[in-house]
Amino acid sequence: MVVFVVVLLPAGVCRYPLGMSGGQIQDEDISASSQWSESTAARYGRLDFEEGDGAWCPEITVEPDHLNEFLQIDLRSLHFITLVGTQGRHAGGIGNEFAQMYKIKYSRDGSRWISWRNRQGKQVIEGNRNAYDIVLKDLEPPIVARFVRFMPVTDHSMNVCMRVELYGCEWLDGLVSYNAPIGEHMTLAGSSVYLNDSVYDGALVHSMTEGLGQLTDGVCGLDDFTVSRVYSVWPGYDYVGWNNESFPNGYVEIMFEFDRTRNFTSMKVHCNNMVSKHVKVFRQVVCYFRSDLDWEVSPLSFSPVEHLTNSNAHFVTVNLAHHMASAIKCQFYFSEAWMLFSEITFQSDTAMYNTTLAPSKPKLPSNTQPVDDSNTRILIGCLVAIIFILVAIIVIILWRQVWQKMLEKATRRMLDDELTASLSIQSETFTYSHNNNPQSSSVSEQESSSTYERIFPLGPDYQEPSRLISKLPEFTQTSEEPVVQDSVPHYAEADIVNLQGVTGGNTYAIPAVTMDLLSGKDVAVEEFPRKLLTFKEKLGEGQFGEVHLCEAEGMQEFMNKEFKFDYPEEEPVLVAVKMLRSDANKNARNDFLKEIKIMSRLKDPNIVRLLAVCIYSDPLCMITEYMENGDLNQFLSKHEPEGQLALLSNAPTVSFENLCYMATQIASGMKYLSSLNFVHRDLATRNCLVGKNYTIKIADFGMSRNLYSGDYYPVLPIRWMSWESILLGKFTTASDVWAFGVTLWEILNFCKEQPYSQLTDEQVIENTGEFFRDQKRQIYLPQPVLCPDTLYRVMLTCWRRNTKDRPSFQEIHRALLDKSCLTEEDNSV
């Protein structure tokens, strides 16, 4: 059965690996109930690690009625955990132990432990089927915890070993619990609507105490509260609600407790407002603050502006005016018979966090700041990607072929269903850093530009992920058709090769891909002696690599015969050298090798060629063609269209004909890539290189950006991305076509303007939602001055909502050759 769940921020974006595989979680923070031996101690329970004997294994066989074994992780601070991953013990083929099932327990304070249950109340999670695949499970509902325990469960006596990872982000709200009266049930036309808090994890006796639940699970309810976002649960599921008859004082009091004293900016309460069913936003809220031990005497009071016409569910923002508190008690006054809340979030002292890169949000002027009322604002407040996920929990297997097949199916099924998505962003919620761990290489906003490992340089065109709705790993599938077949080598399967003579007899573990390269079987690139490279200039850098402009001496000898003749004999050749730092992690190395493998197979006049590699020793390098005029973006921005203006300013010009020639070449290169079912993912003028006589070669294949792996969390070029890439993480040739439309637009604007330059990143993402909804509210890029109607029509077809309605690169190429470009001459001359 398909279960739909709507994911809001932070659940949508908050899926970073928390550091078992990346090493940010220290050994001493990983413990266990027992260990079978020193070499299977808790610290070996890291996902994707092969150290020790390859996993954590408890001392004794796990029995069906003996479920006391656990692997425990201390995250050192509260985290919002949305996803867990498990793997068995493979140990290079020696191990074959894994957990078929497991449970999760968590704790915020280390003393009270709570058993996780899914939305249907089930505790047991399906685990692994073999010792090597990684199985990821969404936690629905997500949990807020500092400590997490994985407890293997079996139905028969068996040896169990586990490697695990947690995914999520730091819990910036700092909310540790809310205490509230129990939600009630409403009788509506004879049937019941249950407005209880069904995922509350505290005590539920006469009231809810010491827990968190639906008000913090990241899921906002719909306008019609009787319809749930979560499938196969009861009506009213998303809301917690109360009736005025049960509250003679006229208000419901909710107390919020926090991890420490904080300086509060605001509180956002997502309220239903279905007046026709006697449900309405609260009339007034009065909040008391407690710092240290005493409650402040004078409370803060706020009344939202009435909505006379609008009955949409929405966030009401209450300005908390920088009160300092470790607990807040709010009395929400009824304005109708019912009051229904689905989410409450708090914004506090971001100064405590390193948010230097975060955009500063305008301060609310006063308590009388009205509620966020327009639809868009609700969307913004309601936060991001409402995407129906197949949740009966999708198993993702990182063994890529299997993985991709499964994902394809999942995505198709999802797209077949009627989707409604809304999205938006709330940046301040996601600016955080691992203050507790300075070495952390994961998620700090400050570090982010260097952290999201990109081998290519970061430019302003890339959107920081933490400010962006993101990607659900379930849908980070690459193509409807199989992509160029390439399996990512796994170090477990690394061949051990003795490279005598090259390295002085050291033994290196070299993954399978490298072997292909070395044996020269199907890839025709050769190892180039590093010493023949002369450094000229740094072209760019990322955390794990740099791109240098170099002169290569005697390159001709190393080049594939096919394109040897492009270069004059004897002269040093200018080349771009992309270099992976020697301290790059395993994933970065594997992706780098994968990119080499793919690039080595691409042979087209409009695609940058891989000339040679240096992979016998670190740092790994790939040597590609360099084009003398740099990238198309900076090339065009230094030029002007032909005409009076250019004559006056004496600037170099490019004729319309040549613009078209360049665009046609890009279409041709893309036609070639698409014929291989290869998805570029990052087509833009900045990734096209310009040679002599306006020749163009497409470069920067996005392979290095492994979209799933968390330490590769994507840095996304949202202004070039199709709606489905942004909302569903779906990258296909059709999304490349979309990006081509944007690239064409850039070209006709001489790259003088960024796409959607008048929109903020948040608005771009909102606009993406409009493309998805397709209610004619989406904003298209405007027709550039130079652009004839025929060519603009080509662009518009690239931005059609349905991927099937977009043209293929073949059609685009044909159109550019045939008419679009020529028409301009007829018109303009």
**Chain contacts with ligand NAG (rule: CB under 6 A):** 194, 196, 198, 204, 234, 244-245, 263, 322, 324, 336-337, 351-352, 354, 435, 446
Element (H, E) at 172: none
Amino acid at 57: C
Nearer CB in complex with ligand NAG: 210/336:
336
Q: Rounded to an integer, what distance in angstroms lies between the CA atom of residue 538 and that of residue 576?
A: 9
Q: How far is the CB of 412 from ligand NAG (least distance, A)?
A: 33
Q: Any bridge partners for residue 526, and if so which?
A: 612
Indicate the residue among 354 and 449 with the shorter CB distance to ligand NAG.
354
Q: Which of 207, 219, 208 is CA-nearest to residue 341?
A: 219
- Cα–Cα distance between 434 and 89 in angstroms, integer? 29
Name which of 363 and 405 has its Cβ closer to ligand NAG. 363
Single-letter code of the amino acid located at 705: R
Going through 229-309 in order, the beta strands assigned E by DSSP cover 240-243, 251-271, 284-291, 294-295, 300-302
249 burial via Cβ count (<10 Å: 0-12, 13-18, 19+): exposed
Query: In this complex, which beta carbon is closest to ligand NAG, that of residue 204 or of residue 646?
Result: 204
In the complex with ligand NAG, which residue's Cβ is closer, 445 or 824? 445
Q: How far is the CB of 275 from ligand NAG (least distance, A)?
A: 11
**Which residues are bridge partners to 136 per DSSP?**
85, 396
CB 287, min distance to ligand NAG, A: 16
429 vs 452: CA distance, rounded Å: 19
Q: Which of 138, 173, 682, 736 is catalytic?
A: 682
For residue 407, the minimal CB distance to ligand NAG (Å) is 33
Interatomic CA distance for residues 394 and 130, integer angstroms: 17
Kindly state the smallest distance separating residue 571's Cβ from ligand NAG, in Å.
47
Residue type, 236: G
Phi, psi of 176, rounded to the nearest 5 degrees? -100, -35
**What are the tokens at 609?**
């060629």
Q: At its nearest, how many Å lie between ligand NAG and the CB of residue 337?
A: 4
At residue 104, what are phi and psi to the nearest 5 degrees? -125, 135
Asked if 162 contacts 71 with a C-beta cutoff of 8 angstroms, the reply is: yes
415: helix, strand or coil: helix
Nearer to ligand NAG, 184 or 753 (CB): 184
Work out how close the CB of 84 gets to ligand NAG at its nearest, in angstroms, rounded to a whole number: 23
For ligand NAG, give the closer residue by CB, 40 or 431.
Answer: 431
Nearest 10 degrees: Cα torsion 603, 605, 608, 614: 50
Residues in the chain: 829
Backbone angles phi, psi at 345, to 5 degrees: -125, 155
| Residue number with CB closer to ligand NAG (31 or 196) | 196
Least CB distance from residue 373 to ligand NAG, whole Å?
22
| Nearer to ligand NAG among residue 348 and residue 404 (C-beta) | 348
Distance (Å, whole) CA 209 – CA 385 = 31
Q: Give the residue with the Cβ less far from ligand NAG, 233 or 492.
A: 233
Q: How far apart (Å, rounded) are the C-alpha atoms in residues 120 and 106?
A: 18
Q: Which is nearer to ligand NAG, 117 or 601 (CB)?
A: 117
- Asked if 18 and 168 touch (Cβ cutoff 8 Å), the reply is yes
Backbone dihedral angles phi then psi of residue 238, each to the nearest 5 degrees: -75, -15
Active site residue 224: no
CB nearer to ligand NAG: give 251 or 475. Answer: 251
d(CA 371, CA 361): 16
DSSP 8-class letter at 67: -
**Closest approach of ligand NAG to the CB of residue 296, in Å:** 12
Q: What's the CA angle centered on 105, arms 100 and 110, to 5 degrees? A: 145
Beta strands in 88-115 (DSSP E): 101-107, 114-115
Nearer to ligand NAG, 42 or 252 (CB): 252
Does residue 68 come out as left (phi exceeding 0), alpha (psi in the -120 to 50 range) or beta?
A: alpha
From the CB of 171, what's the least distance to ligand NAG, in Å? 16
Q: What is the CA radius of gyration of the chain?
A: 29
Residue from 476, 482, 483, 487 nearest 731 by CA: 476
Count CB atoms within 10 A of the CB of residue 734: 24
Q: Kindly state the smallest distance separating residue 65's Cβ from ligand NAG, in Å.
A: 26
From the number of C-beta atoms within 10 Å of its C-beta (0-12, 13-18, 19+), residue 435 rates as: middle
Select from 29, 34, 14 the least CA-distant residue to 148: 29
DSSP calls for 799-820: T-SSGGGSPPHHHHHHHIIIII
Smallest separation, CB 439 to ligand NAG (Å): 11
Minimum distance from CB of 182 to ligand NAG (Å)?
8
What are the φ and ψ backbone dihedral angles of 686, each rounded to 5 degrees? -65, -20
In angstroms, rounded to a whole number, what is the distance separating the alpha carbons of residues 607 and 630? 14
The half-sphere exposure of 64 on its side-chain side, counting CA atoms within 13 A, is 2
The catalytic site residues sit at 682
